[in-house]
Chain A
Amino acid sequence: MENHMTRQPLLEIENLAVSYFTRAGEIPAVADFNLRLDAGEAVGLVGESGCGKTTVAMAIMRYLGGNGRIVDGSIRFQDRDLTTMGKEELRQLRGSAIAMVYQEPMAALNPSMTIGAQLMEVPRFHDGATHAEAYERSRELLADVKLADSARLMAAYPHQLSGGQQQRVVIAMALLSNPKLLLLDEPTTALDVTVEAGIVELIRELAQKYGTGMLYISHNLGLIRDTCDRVCIMYSGRAVEMGSVRQLFEQPRHPYTQGLFHCIALPSTDKLARPLKPIRGQLPLPHQRPPGCSFAPRCDHFAAGTCDTPGLKMHEIGGGHEVRCERWRDIDKDAVTVTAPAEAAQAVGEEVISVNDLSKYYAVRDRSVAAMITRRRVRYVKANESLTFTAREGETVAIVGESGCGKSTFAKVLMGLETATDGAIEFQGKDIANTDVQQRSRKQVSALQMVFQNPFDTLNPSQSVGSQIGRVIRKFDSSTDRSKVRSRVVELLDLVKLPRDFMHRRPRQLSGGQKQRVGIARAFAGNPSAVVADEPVSALDVSVAAAVTALLLDIQRRNRTTLLFISHDLGVVRYLADRVVVMYLGRVMEQGTTEEVFSPPYHPYTEALLSAVPVADTRVRKKRIILEGTLPSPLNPPKGCPFASRCQRKIGDICDTTPPPVLASPSGHAIACHIALAELAEVEPVFTVEQADAAE
């Protein structure tokens, strides 16, 4: 990178502008975009949805669909202009010199072709390889992306593989022709953290091995930090800041970049040290972009006369660090460290929810011939097994784990959408584990509410926001008359910080974050004493998620609600939870206060989970643990410790044969493992924060 300017660039994008042409007219998606990428270099492209980052990648591939067009600029790849290239020339480049890895591996693979057939096409069509050669090369690459049993995989169909395996296949396919440039479009977004960590590791290794240049598109700054040399931040169709990872992460100059960093909860620091500060307002729609700086309506540093002059340029501020902000000189570069409005630790009240030995099994009928012969036709998926924990008034308990760990099943049982197989859930002194929601009293239902992951699915599209909230209010309190309902609706809209006239809007007129606010308003309509939030912000963009998280936390604190926060995002969990329950394969692996869970002694699974989380802070050093293998089938879980098949600290046969004891410290910190607590306490912490050396 030292002689950055003298080296021949692999990819050089100049003044790129891409527009989509719809009936409503031309919609500019990307404008005035410049980027230079050297051979072997990895550049991250970061931004929230709608910022144009995927459009840039698709423009490079010249795959913009029927209505997208490059309206200006050039994309030079190895000194050839891609924008004017003929079809055949383009075809020869695609998939050979430039290859791509996609966001949803399942969708990116052809469901009716075997993995082998799909892989072999690449050498067959680009290098004219024979069938046998193509087969051999494909198999080798499957081994290269660390997929065991490659011969069997070659004959498999995509749906027979797990998500992580599918993505490895897609990566193998991209690397088969030894590309010079690899475009990665959110390659791990659909995957669990521990799987993601494996893929990221793989990408890094392979890029080094093959010397591939990479354009890594992501919304996750932590991932970019782990994979890239340089970063480009995009906002509303333009690059707003560009520089090396160090420059940008340690001294972000653009107010938007700074804002983004304030929106990310890090698993390495707690909320008191680093409060979230959402960016106010929302992304302007393409036709509503203000003249001049498109971030202006949301910027705290806006100055009329300077920021609203059209055609703002990038400013080079030294060392290849560029920023598109007129006032960069005036903005404090250390503004990253805002001081916290001191948050008084809350005293928790009495127990509201007490889960006791709760189990939920699902019967699965096996119709295979083998099952008919062995007469084991009904098998059980143990979605939840002996869950025990409590949540108190005013307390936030986070339930964390990856997909398939049983956290959503637990939420269903708690909400009465399913009934328990065994055990009890005591809520306000009554066992509700076996009463489904129809049989619960109105008071019970209103006292225990839920915020869903996908606000889009839970709102009725044909009813106004006001009438939907009103209906919930009336359901819980039939005595309320019209004017009272109305005033309560207004109250709730105020509570979730939505303008009052949103009452008359329909769901489709709302953005994702606004919909989730309505979802929160509905949940709090009946003054619940407990709220279950199932991944409430995982479908939202970073800056929106931060705002919704802060809101939820604020309401919860004021109402002293018990919040059960189900999430896979350990950063957010560390930020808002008082206590944490870590689940794996339906069982509790570890629980304790947030402080306890996030520092040694760790359960080996918690340790692996923490080390898998990408951290967007260059000062944080992280222990690297990559879990092998995939989640065992819940139909056939390991006999001993559920984590035994992947555990990095497994001590021997005892882990496979005997379920581990629960080791509890006097404070209530509990770990289910065969390793002694004292020994676990000795492992070094996953995160160590380097003292900020003068990185100036």
Chain B
Amino acid sequence: MAILILKRIGTMALMMLVVSLIVFLLLEIDKESVAVKVLGVFTTEEQRRLWLEANGYFEPLYLRYFSWLAGFVTGDLGESTVFRVPVSEILWPRLANTAILGVLAMLVLIPLSLLLGVFAGMREGSLQDRAISVVSIITTSVPEFASGIFLVAVFVVGLHLLPGTSTMIEGFDLTQLVLPVAVLVIYDFGYVTRMTRASMAEVMMTPYIRTAVLKGLPFRRVIVRHALRNALIAPFTVIMLQINWLLSGVIVVELLFAYKGFGTLLLEAALNGDIFVIEACTMVAVFVAVATQTIADLGYTLLNPRIRFT
């Protein structure tokens, strides 16, 4: 197991390295455009040359890559060309905001969809199964902005219950998070629910569940002890992928509620050609993707004794 973890982490590091190389080559190989992006279009050739010179851009490519990489590893991400402050100063708070949103969404999403999925898959074809399946299909097929606007119309405009924006200008305010979290959950729970349901229904058909039932165990025991563990292996992987989705998938929601998160940061950076912010955001996104994948793999192994002990 320890070897496996080390191996996975090794692969992960390797993947990050490859991605970093790609990002670097894509964005920095053309020195001129970097200079233009950093200094703006209204600069002279001479100014740009001086800037490039000062920042070591005339060194060989591989040296540039290594110092760029070293900067990344040590947390020196460069300076935002738009805000004129170090990238890390804006990146981390924004990331934290998105993390808060994501964690809250997950806290609602995971128990909700696992519970519904298990209830639906437990008795395939029953009324509860069909009801849950229909609801989850409908909610998943409504895009986030639509459900967002709908919720705003009801709870903000109609009932005046909740604030319509989540700018958090006057400090942290939980009520401002209710609607964004709701939109995320509504959009995503159907997917996880259906995956859980499928997995649960499949497990319920297996001979070992038959064995458990014919052993004379109470139905509760059959579900909790025999079915759940095997049925949750597949959804676990799916849930890990949702974390990944949240990071980029929140853009719409953040925009809709003017929430200062990672998604909006990435969007602004892309629109403004804020090159170092783009680089940093990309690397963060890739890191999350690779990390969740690794955790998913390891978790899968842990949950499945057939792989764990061979």
Contact = CB atoms under 8 A, between A and B. Distances in A.
Interface of A: 61, 63, 66, 91-96, 99-100, 102, 104, 107-113, 121-122, 125-126, 157, 159-160, 170, 173, 367, 369
Contacts of A66: 124-125
B215 A159 contact: no
B213 interface: yes
Most A Cβ at <10 Å: residue of B207, B208, B230, B309? B208
B71 to A, nearest CB: 37
Interface of B is mostly: helix
Given A102-B207, A113-B229, A159-B306, 4 more contacts: A63-B210, A91-B218, A110-B208, A126-B216
28 contacts: A63-B214, A66-B124, A66-B125, A91-B218, A93-B216, A94-B213, A95-B214, A100-B214, A107-B208, A108-B210, A108-B211, A109-B208, A110-B208, A110-B211, A111-B208, A111-B305, A112-B303, A113-B225, A121-B215, A121-B217, A121-B221, A121-B225, A122-B216, A125-B218, A125-B221, A159-B305, A170-B211, A173-B215
Contact of B215 (A94, A112, A157): A94
Contacts of B212: 110, 121
Contacts of A91: 216-218
Given A93-B216, A113-B226, A125-B218, A108 B208 contact: yes
**Top 3 closest A-B pairs, CB basis?**
A95-B216, A95-B215, A94-B216
Contacts of B304: 111-112
A112 B217 contact: no
B216 A125 contact: yes
A57 to B, nearest CB: 10
A112 B305 contact: yes
Nearest to A62: B214
B216 A102 contact: no
Contacts of A173: 211, 215
A96 B217 CA distance: 10
A346 B20 CA distance: 74
A157 B216 contact: no
A111 B218 contact: no
Most A Cβ at <10 Å: residue of B210, B213, B229, B230? B210
Interface residues of B, number: 25
Most B Cβ at <10 Å: residue of A110, A159, A369? A110
Given A66-B125, A111-B230, A113-B225, A157 B305 contact: yes
Nearest to A104: B207
A61 B216 CA distance: 10
A16 to B, nearest CB: 19
B146 interface: no
Contact of A122 (B125, B210, B215): B215
A63 B303 CA distance: 29
Contacts of A122: 215-216
A110 B221 CA distance: 13
Interface in B198-231: 206-208, 210-218, 221, 225-226, 229-230
A183 to B, nearest CB: 9
A108 B305 CA distance: 16
Contacts of B125: 66
Nearest to B226: A110
Nearest to A176: B215
Given A94-B216, A157-B309, A109 B221 contact: no
Contacts of A107: 206-208
B127 interface: no
B3 interface: yes
A369 B1 CA distance: 11
Nearest to A90: B216
Nearest to A170: B211
Contacts of A367: 3
Contacts of B214: 61, 63, 94-95, 99-100
A121 B212 CA distance: 9
Contacts of A63: 210, 213-214
B230 A92 contact: no
Contacts of B124: 66
B73 to A, nearest CB: 30
A42 B210 CA distance: 24
Given A92-B216, A125-B221, A111 B211 contact: no
Nearest to A91: B216
B125 to A, nearest CB: 6
Contact of B306 (A93, A94, A111): A111
A96 B215 CA distance: 7
B129 to A, nearest CB: 11
Contact of B217 (A61, A95, A108, A369): A95
B217 A125 contact: yes
A17 to B, nearest CB: 22
Contact of A96 (B216, B218, B306): B216
Contact of A157 (B206, B211, B213, B306): B306
Contacts of A111: 208, 230, 304-306
Interface in B176-218: 206-208, 210-218
Interface in B1-33: 3
Contacts of B303: 112
Contacts of A157: 305-306, 309
A158 to B, nearest CB: 9
